[in-house]
């Protein structure tokens, strides 16, 4: 049994100022071809890691083509996407005949002129392999799904966790399913229910209320006879596309009526509780005004979440920390390649004047003038040690730990959110010893910081991914949509 694999993955913020070109794919989370894919992801917590585990378990030959994942950012230029897709399809044609295709995708990719990136990609794969060859795709929790992509695949499976700690598990689930399809043990039929709503990030931490209840329902339904898989996607609201929003996808064995009825049951359940899926974040002043009983207090600077495609250089939190003259405060990570270079040119122990952050977009605020000590320097390369990416390597580019009085900033050159404490520790920073830590992350940081946090506050400081959704200049989204257009 031969199963081809790979994927082009991106979470596209159509509001982000800079396009995601081929270069961002090549310098992103990874760009691997052929056997390098297997060498890189054997044992890794991502879907491809799960596909590899599936090969060991079921004895199929995994035929790796092209796997690439650009860090979340702006629209993908058409020519760059077309070139990546052409390379993937070329490899697939050369690999034929195959018995199946396992795709590792995101679900919120938008290409210039193609709103439904994954729909286009899966349909192209289908045209190469034909109707009889099963295609199973895995998706992030934050997909904006469409009927077109569901129709092009035999089955799709989305993550059940945020932070995404179940990526390898979902890969194994996809591997188990495609093997059963190839052996003729099951014949999947899929029902799609899209919902005119989206979740606020603060309400989709899957280990906590309110969304834990929704996933208990999903898992209860998955144990019912005839149901092969259930996906609840929370949507990605920073993509201004007509299909932006949450959805339910039910894969049943042969019984289209059962799939439809079940997707509608869960969809109705989610819709009836829609007010539960929203909570307004705090302002920075409200968050700092909360009585702290245990440190460190963590502030999720959600509106500048680099993991969602934001620039990572907004300055409202930094400015507030400085104005309040906090004693033991830390910002992870502020993206400013020029200041990182300036720190490297000066050297460790030197004092320099910097104008930090606020350079990418007017909504990110203005630079903050600081006289800082250069405490430590790094080339930005490190190995994650937390539950989400543990064992994988990261590269934040030229980086520095800068300090003015009690305010510490880790300045980096690449946009990546802090998933665990590994990079701060490599610089010599003891996160547990801080009183306030602000992170350019919405939720994923919890995987590596929740165990040391005295409290976590979600804040909506000034930045382009504001959670005040009424301020975003949507042109293409559906109307009405909850919560933007009332109930």
336 within 8 A of 471, measured Cβ to Cβ: no
- Residue with Cβ nearer Zn ion (140 or 240): 140
Q: Which residue is nearest to Zn ion (CB)?
A: 142
Distance CA(448)–CA(388), nearest Å, equals 8
Based on the shown chain and the rule CB under 5 A, indicate whether residue 142 belongs to the binding site for Zn ion.
yes
Give residue 109's Cα distance to chain centre.
Answer: 11
Closest contact distance (angstroms) between CB of 443 and Zn ion is: 8
**Rounded to the nearest 5 degrees, what angle is found at the Cα of 112, between the Cα atoms of 107 and 114?**
55
- Residue with Cβ nearer Zn ion (359 or 444): 444
Closest contact distance (angstroms) between CB of 243 and Zn ion is: 17
Distance CA(321)–CA(298), nearest Å, equals 13
- Residue with Cβ nearer Zn ion (71 or 401): 71
- Residue with Cβ nearer Zn ion (142 or 359): 142
- With residue 220 as reference, give the H or E element that holds it: helix 211-222
Closest contact distance (angstroms) between CB of 24 and Zn ion is: 17
Q: What does the longest C-alpha to C-alpha distance in the chain come to?
A: 70
Please, what is the angle between helix 117-129 and helix 78-95, to 10°? 30
Based on the shown chain and the rule CB under 5 A, indicate whether residue 140 belongs to the binding site for Zn ion.
yes
Distance CA(2)–CA(51), nearest Å, equals 12
How many residues touch Zn ion under the rule CB under 5 A: the total is 2
Token readout for 192 is 């799609």
- Residue with Cβ nearer Zn ion (4 or 201): 201
In a 3-state reduction of DSSP, which class is residue 3?
strand
- Residue with Cβ nearer Zn ion (142 or 170): 142
Segment interacting with Zn ion (CB under 5 A) among 55-63, 139-147, 413-421, 446-454: 139-147
Segment interacting with Zn ion (CB under 5 A) among 15-23, 47-55, 119-127, 140-148: 140-148
Closest contact distance (angstroms) between CB of 141 and Zn ion is: 5
- Which runs of consecutive H residues, i.e. helices, occur in 273-298? 284-289
Question: 56-83 in b/e burial notation, b at 16+ Cβ within 10 A?
Answer: eebebebbbbbbbbbbbbbbbbeebbee
Helix, strand, coil percentages (3-state) for the chain, rounded to 5, are 35, 25, 40
Based on the shown chain and the rule CB under 5 A, indicate whether residue 170 belongs to the binding site for Zn ion.
no
- Residue with Cβ nearer Zn ion (142 or 467): 142
Closest contact distance (angstroms) between CB of 487 and Zn ion is: 27
Closest contact distance (angstroms) between CB of 164 and Zn ion is: 6
Residue 355's Cβ-side half-sphere holds a number of Cα atoms within 13 Å equal to 5
Binding-site string for Zn ion from residue 404 to residue 443, where x marks contact by CB under 5 A and - marks none: ----------------------------------------
Q: Got the DSSP string for 18-35?
A: S---HHHHHTSSEEEETH
Segment interacting with Zn ion (CB under 5 A) among 132-140, 222-230, 237-245, 451-459: 132-140
In a 3-state reduction of DSSP, which class is residue 231?
strand
- Residue with Cβ nearer Zn ion (249 or 318): 249
Segment interacting with Zn ion (CB under 5 A) among 64-72, 135-143, 281-289, 381-389: 135-143
3-state secondary structure 322-379: HHCCCCCEEEEEEECHHHHHHHHHHCCCCEEEEEECCCCCHHHCCCEEEEEEEEEEEC
Closest contact distance (angstroms) between CB of 283 and Zn ion is: 25
- Residue with Cβ nearer Zn ion (142 or 465): 142
Q: What is the footprint of Zn ion within residues 75-104 (CB under 5 A)?
A: none
Closest contact distance (angstroms) between CB of 414 and Zn ion is: 19
Closest contact distance (angstroms) between CB of 321 and Zn ion is: 28
- With residue 188 as reference, give the H or E element that holds it: strand 188-195
Which residues would be at the binding site for Zn ion (CB under 5 A)?
Answer: 140, 142
């Amino acid at each position: 049994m031969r199963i081809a694999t790979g994927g082009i993955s991106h979470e596209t913020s159509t509001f982000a100022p800079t396009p995601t070109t081929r270069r961002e794919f090549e310098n992103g989370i990874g760009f691997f071809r052929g056997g390098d894919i297997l060498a890189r992801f054997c044992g890794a917590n991502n879907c491809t890691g799960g596909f590899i585990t599936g090969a060991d378990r079921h004895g199929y030959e995994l035929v790796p083509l092209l796997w690439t994942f650009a860090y979340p950012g702006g629209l993908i230029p058409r020519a760059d996407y077309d070139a990546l897709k052409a390379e993937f399809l070329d490899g697939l044609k050369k690999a034929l005949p195959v018995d199946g295709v396992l795709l590792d995708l995101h679900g919120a990719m938008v290409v210039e002129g193609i709103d439904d990136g994954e729909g286009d990609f899966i349909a192209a794969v289908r045209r190469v392999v034909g109707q009889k060859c099963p295609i199973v795709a895995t998706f992030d929790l934050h997909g904006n799904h469409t009927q077109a992509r569901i129709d092009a695949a035999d089955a799709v499976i989305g993550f059940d966790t945020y932070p995404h700690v179940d990526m390898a598990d979902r890969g194994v689930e996809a591997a188990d399913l495609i093997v059963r399809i190839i052996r003729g043990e099951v014949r999947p039929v899929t029902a799609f229910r899209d919902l005119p709503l989206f979740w606020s990030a603060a309400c989709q931490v899957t280990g906590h209320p309110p969304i834990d209840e929704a996933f208990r329902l999903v898992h209860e339904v998955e144990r019912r006879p005839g149901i092969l898989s259930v996906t609840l996607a929370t949507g990605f609201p920073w993509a201004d596309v007509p299909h932006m929003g949450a959805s339910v996808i039910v894969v049943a064995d042969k019984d289209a009526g059962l799939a439809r009825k079940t997707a509608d049951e869960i969809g109705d359940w989610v819709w009836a509780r829609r007010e539960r899926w929203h909570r307004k974040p705090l302002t920075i002043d409200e968050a700092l005004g909360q009585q702290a009983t245990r440190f460190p207090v963590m502030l999720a600077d959600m509106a500048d979440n680099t993991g969602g495609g934001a620039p990572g250089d907004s300055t409202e939190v930094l400015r507030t920390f400085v104005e309040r003259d906090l004693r033991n405060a830390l910002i992870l990570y502020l993206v400013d390649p020029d200041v990182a270079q300036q720190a490297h040119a000066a050297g460790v122990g030197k004092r320099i004047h910097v104008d930090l952050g606020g350079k990418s977009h007017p909504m990110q605020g203005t630079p903050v003038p600081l006289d800082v000590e250069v405490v430590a320097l790094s080339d930005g390369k490190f190995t994650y040690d937390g539950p989400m990416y543990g064992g994988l390597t990261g590269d934040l580019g030229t980086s520095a730990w800068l300090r003015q009085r009690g305010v510490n900033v880790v300045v980096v050159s690449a946009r990546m959110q802090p998933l665990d404490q590994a990079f701060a520790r490599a610089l010599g920073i003891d996160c547990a010893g801080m009183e306030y830590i602000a992170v350019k992350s919405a939720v994923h940081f919890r995987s590596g910081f929740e165990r040391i946090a005295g409290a976590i506050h979600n804040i909506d400081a000034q930045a382009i991914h504001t959670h005040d959704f009424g301020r975003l200049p949507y042109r293409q989204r559906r109307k009405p949509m909850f919560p933007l257009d009332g109930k």
